[in-house]
Structures are given as structure tokens and as C-alpha cells.
A and B are shown apart, each in its own frame.
Chain A
């Protein structure tokens, strides 16, 4: 066991997979130099310029070429420097990668991983802070992973690399160096589509993912100490597919559901979770399915106080827990 930050765990996952399978390559802007978050630190030295390769600054070509390479025996990890900059490749991801298998009647498939740092809270302004998971969770043919801790990041990235489908692998950038965690020395994977119950509880089910898992756990601790409330916190970890079973089983137990996500409220992924609980868990509910999210404002302003004002915080989440508990 060794203590690792999330970004180190991601680096290790890539390195180990590149060692395990020579078809795996990393391509993107600045990856040869280690990348702006240092996620590919050392990979050039370890694997050479044929397997860790810089591309021109052209996101559609990065994804488009990764798609092509994947059709010809390569397993590319395509790095988007920031999730915000992946939009020029939206067409390649949605119309090409996601639809290739379906439109060819199952005869072609696109085993690529698209890694992208996403999320706010680092003074990134409106173009280094976006949450993009809802766009892609909407698209059949894609898998969408949202990680914010080292253990899950490593295990899920390995699963993503081994998955025969295109995977959007979203790494919350504020979690890159948030903490260190014990990581097993031996090879392990975390399955795509399986939530983690991070904290057990009886009064309220709190469904979240990404950085909000950390805030939600902190809020749950606060309300337990101050109000005696027992909150079950579920980290979805992947939003496509997402673990309905774990969520519904928890709501059946608690009777109340709070969904916390960092993205804008309207059409955010939490809306899908809410709709599913409302429809499939209606008989379990003792209160309104409630959401805490960012207001419908472009995220996020550069000025620190403005950014914090908009984003869900442990305090806002704790307040929502108390309101729902009192219902």
C-alpha cells in the first residue's frame, strides 16, 4: 500500500495499463511534457514518443484520430486538457464515437477513453470550471465516469481502458491533490456502473458524485453531530450507466432523497436521478425528492467569493438536509 493523490493514481493507472497492454497509448496536448495537471508525468520517458504523444491543439482531431486509431488495433487514451475545451470535439464524441457501433450494426467498435479534468472550485473562471457529464450521459453508446478520489480514479480508469466502448472519464480537477489515500499495490479495478455507499444512514438518502461527494460527507457529519440526523451518502461514481438499484434500495430504507450535484440545476444529471426515484421509488417516499445544485448561471466566475456563492457548499447541503429531514 502506498499513499497517493488522485492525479498520481491516474498516472499510475495509465502507466500500469500501458505496461500490461502495448496497444494502449496516450495522446493529447502537452502530454509528452506531463500535461498541465502532471497526469502524464514520466510516461514519455517510460514508454517513448510513440505511446505518449503530443498532438496539435485541435480537439476534434484528437478525438477523431483516436477513433480511427481504435479501429486499427490501438487503445487510445485521448486527453482533453480541460473538459471545457472538449466542446469542439462534441460532434466526434456524440455523432461518431458513440454511434459507430450502433450504426454499423455491431460490426465496428470504438474502444477509446477520453480523459478530461472537469468541475469548479479552483478559480478557473467560466472556461476551466464546467461540468459536462449531463451532455454525455444523455447519449446512448457512451459510458460516463466522474471521479473525485484516488482509489476510484485508479480502479475506474483501468476499467475504462479495458472497456470496449467509448468512455468519457471525467476527473474532478479540485480533487486531483485534495488528499492522499492508501492505494493497493496489486492490480485492481472498480466496475463501471456501480455506486459506492460512502456512509450508511437511516434518515435521508443523499445521492451525489464528483467533488460533491466530499462536500456531502462533510455536511452529513455536521448534521449528525449537530442535529442527530443519519444520512446515507451514495457516490454514483459513474453516471452512464448509473446504479439505480443501490439508490432505490437506499430510498426504500430512508424514505427521503436528496440529490447533490455541482452542475447547473436545470437538466443536470441529478434531474435524471430525481425522475427515476419519483417514478420507481414513489411508494417509498416520505418527502419531496430534492435537489441541491448550482443555479442556472454559467459556471464559474473567476472571483473567489462569487464562485463560492454559486457552488454547492457543505453548509448549503447541510441546510437542505435539515429542511428535508423536517418535512
Chain B
């Protein structure tokens, strides 16, 4: 097989890139599963992960330039963080709230990704408040004549917030290089989409802000990548924002403190498991002769080993000194 040649129907992705995407998806799944396992073992008090949403996350992140473009994620975006260059070790150090955790040194809750060198911006747990930050970052890029793009990720519940509306409106007015990515999994904890909005497709909202909105099968990583690539190109060419609705499903409860059997039938979850983005993409790769089963299994085995090592390392790593909890309230109090 030739590695430099585009695979038809992928928007210009090569075999190596497709396998890289697959590896990131498998890694994201494995990290999420490990985090929930560590929680069940009583080693961490809380886990919030995004199994089922890997295609939406990796597909968009793969269209960005890591360390150049900006990402303002939300708490399910393990796949985004990994695609941009964070490692399983980074994420597990964060999950176990260790001193070495690059995102916050154990201050923020797990999965509140931050990594300045990768331009992943720290976020709060308040839903939707990160969206205006991405718009401000894009405003700065435009004012400074930089070709940077800002991408922000959020769930469907976030689209009901005032911050989301205000941010998209401002982005439209100023025609900013920003991409709004809604990982539409149909639920805001237990509240189904029908109780969140009277409009079936979120993509329609973009029209009201004066920029395009696209709705894409969020479990089809190639389709997500293509939509994201277009959006990134538009943003970089000065054509303004794009809203991407990636329709997907979270295969796990909202968090380790949630019991999703209260609000989702097992039949519904089983139906979505059949559309699992990992198995779908694996089948696609085989069908398109990008990789055979042996190669794909090899990726899974390497990932499992990477996560084991990362998990062991993070478990052995120390928590920050107690007195450090008083630091970094103000910039000029740095020691």
C-alpha cells in the first residue's frame, strides 16, 4: 500500500493519516474506559468521559494545526486533547489530580483539559462559558492579522445558554475565524433534546447569526473531518465562522455519579452501540483496504499497553504539596 496517496472520498487523507485517526480514536476510548475503571476501583472520586463521541472529537481536531490553532474544549473531549498532542499520561495525571498534571496540577476536575503549548485553553465546569473565549481568541487573531483558527467544543445542552448565543452572534458580526462544534449527543445529563429545543437541527441556528451551519453524522469520522476541514479553510481564508453539529451519542452515563438507566432505555443504548464510531471506522478501513484486521488489532494492543503504562505512572506520581494550594491566585504572587 502507498502511504502518500490520498484515499478517495476522504477529503485528502492519506493511509497513514487515516490510521493515525483510528489510533487516536482507540486511544481516546481506552483512556475513557480506564478513567471510569479507576473510579470504580475507588482510586479517583469522579470520572467524566466521552466514549461514543470519538469520531466527532478526533475528526474535528485532526483538521486543526496543533499548537497553532486554538482549542477551547469541554469535559468530554479526551479525543480532542489526544489528537492535538496530549498523551494518555497527561490525561491520566489529570484524572488522578497529580502535581504533574499539566491542565491544572489537580485543581480543576478531571477532563478539564488545558495545555498552553498546545493552545488548549483551560475551561470551567460552567456549561457554555467557554464559547465566548474562543470568539475572543479569534477576535485577537483577526486584530493581529494571524492565520490562527479557534475551535470550541460543547454539548447540545450548552446551545441553550445565553453565552452560546451571545458568542455566536458576536462571531457572526465580526466574521471571526472560529468554529463552533456541537457534539450533539441528544441529552444534557437526563434532559432529552426535545426538551432543550423546538428545532430538530441545530445547524439551522447558524443562519440566524449570518454564517453556515452544517449537520454531520458525528459517528462517521471521515464525514466529520471533511466538514471540519471546510470550516477550518473558511476560517483561515477570512470567510468567518462555521457551526458544525456532529450528531452522536454518549455510550456511557454523564459522569461516574450518573445513572443513565433512569432516563435512557437499554434498547436505545444498544441501538447506538451498533453505530459505535470505532467499529464503524474499523470496518471502513478494512473495506477500503487501508488496513486489515491484524493491523487494526495491533493498534489496539499498542494502545492498551500505552494506557497501562500511563496509568501506572500516574498512580505512582505524587499529589502537589499542600501549601501549593495557596498559590497562583494572582500573577504577581508567583514565587
Task: Say whether A and B bind each other.
Answer: yes
Query: Which residues on A are within 8 Å of B, measured CB to CB?
Result: 25, 50-51, 55-56, 58, 60-61, 63-74, 76, 88, 91-92, 95-96, 99-109, 111, 140-141, 143, 163-165
**Chain B, 95-137, CB within 8 A of any chain A CB:** 101-105, 107-108, 112, 114, 116, 121-122, 124, 126, 129, 131-137
Interface hub of B107, B129, B163, B332 (most chain A Cβ within 10 A): B163
Closest to B174 in A: A53
Is A56 within 8 A of B169, CB to CB?
yes
Top 8 closest pairs, chain A to chain B, by CB: A68-B136, A64-B132, A61-B166, A65-B136, A105-B105, A72-B140, A106-B328, A68-B133
A residues less than 8 Å from B148 (CB atoms)? 72
With an 8 Å Cβ cutoff, the count of chain B residues facing the other chain is 46
B residues less than 8 Å from A101 (CB atoms)? 328-331
Given the complex of chains A and B, what is the CA–CA distance between A53 and B103 in angstroms?
Answer: 33
Is A73 within 8 A of B144, CB to CB?
yes
B274 within 8 A of A: no
Given the complex of chains A and B, what is the CA–CA distance between A238 and B129 in angstroms?
Answer: 28
Interface hub of B138, B170, B173 (most chain A Cβ within 10 A): B170
With contact pairs A61-B132, A105-B104 given, residues A71 and B121 touching in the complex (Cβ less than 8 Å): yes
Is A61 within 8 A of B328, CB to CB?
no
Is B136 within 8 A of A140, CB to CB?
no
A residues less than 8 Å from B105 (CB atoms)? 105
A residues less than 8 Å from B329 (CB atoms)? 101-102, 140-141
B139 within 8 A of A: yes
B151 within 8 A of A: no
Given the complex of chains A and B, what is the CA–CA distance between A60 and B121 in angstroms?
Answer: 18
**Chain B, 67-117, CB within 8 A of any chain A CB:** 70, 72, 101-105, 107-108, 112, 114, 116
Is B132 within 8 A of A65, CB to CB?
yes
User: What's the minimum C-beta distance from B175 to chain A, rounded to whole angstroms?
Assistant: 13
Given the complex of chains A and B, what is the CA–CA distance between A73 and B150 in angstroms?
Answer: 14
Residue from B103, B108, B112, B163 within 8 A of A61 (CB atoms): B163
Instruction: Name 9 extra pairs, CB < 8 A, besides A61-B170, A95-B129.
Output: A58-B170, A60-B162, A64-B131, A68-B139, A73-B144, A104-B104, A106-B334, A108-B114, A109-B331
Closest to A241 in B: B330
B residues less than 8 Å from A100 (CB atoms)? 122
Is A68 within 8 A of B166, CB to CB?
no
Given the complex of chains A and B, what is the CA–CA distance between A88 and B162 in angstroms?
Answer: 9
B residues less than 8 Å from A68 (CB atoms)? 72, 121, 132-140, 150
Given the complex of chains A and B, what is the CA–CA distance between A66 and B107 in angstroms?
Answer: 24
With contact pairs A60-B132, A91-B126, A92-B132 given, residues A65 and B170 touching in the complex (Cβ less than 8 Å): yes
A residues less than 8 Å from B72 (CB atoms)? 68
Is A104 within 8 A of B170, CB to CB?
no
Given the complex of chains A and B, what is the CA–CA distance between A76 and B112 in angstroms?
Answer: 25
Residue from B108, B116, B170, B332 within 8 A of A56 (CB atoms): B170
Query: Which residues on B are within 8 Å of A, measured CB to CB?
Result: 70, 72, 101-105, 107-108, 112, 114, 116, 121-122, 124, 126, 129, 131-141, 143-144, 148, 150, 162-163, 166-167, 169-170, 173, 327-332, 334
Given the complex of chains A and B, what is the CA–CA distance between A95 and B129 in angstroms?
Answer: 9
A residues less than 8 Å from B107 (CB atoms)? 102-105
Is B139 within 8 A of A69, CB to CB?
yes
User: What's the minimum C-beta distance from B179 to chain A, rounded to whole angstroms?
Assistant: 14
Residue from B140, B163, B166 within 8 A of A74 (CB atoms): B140
A residues less than 8 Å from B173 (CB atoms)? 56
Given the complex of chains A and B, what is the CA–CA distance between A14 and B169 in angstroms?
Answer: 27
With contact pairs A101-B329, A104-B114, A105-B105 given, residues A64 and B166 touching in the complex (Cβ less than 8 Å): yes
Is A102 within 8 A of B328, CB to CB?
yes
Given the complex of chains A and B, what is the CA–CA distance between A316 and B265 in angstroms?
Answer: 67
Given the complex of chains A and B, what is the CA–CA distance between A106 and B162 in angstroms?
Answer: 29
With contact pairs A65-B135, A71-B136, A101-B330 given, residues A55 and B104 touching in the complex (Cβ less than 8 Å): no
Is B163 within 8 A of A72, CB to CB?
no
Given the complex of chains A and B, what is the CA–CA distance between A74 and B144 in angstroms?
Answer: 9
Given the complex of chains A and B, what is the CA–CA distance between A107 and B327 in angstroms?
Answer: 12
User: What's the minimum C-beta distance from B139 to chain A, rounded to whole angstroms?
Assistant: 5
Given the complex of chains A and B, what is the CA–CA distance between A103 and B328 in angstroms?
Answer: 8
Is A64 within 8 A of B330, CB to CB?
no
Given the complex of chains A and B, what is the CA–CA distance between A172 and B332 in angstroms?
Answer: 27
A residues less than 8 Å from B108 (CB atoms)? 103-104
A residues less than 8 Å from B330 (CB atoms)? 101, 141, 143, 165
Q: List 30 A-B contacts (CB under 8 A).
A: A25-B143, A51-B143, A56-B169, A58-B166, A60-B163, A61-B163, A61-B169, A64-B166, A65-B132, A65-B133, A67-B132, A67-B133, A72-B136, A72-B144, A73-B140, A74-B139, A74-B140, A74-B144, A92-B163, A99-B124, A101-B328, A103-B112, A104-B103, A104-B104, A104-B107, A105-B105, A106-B331, A164-B331, A165-B330, A165-B331
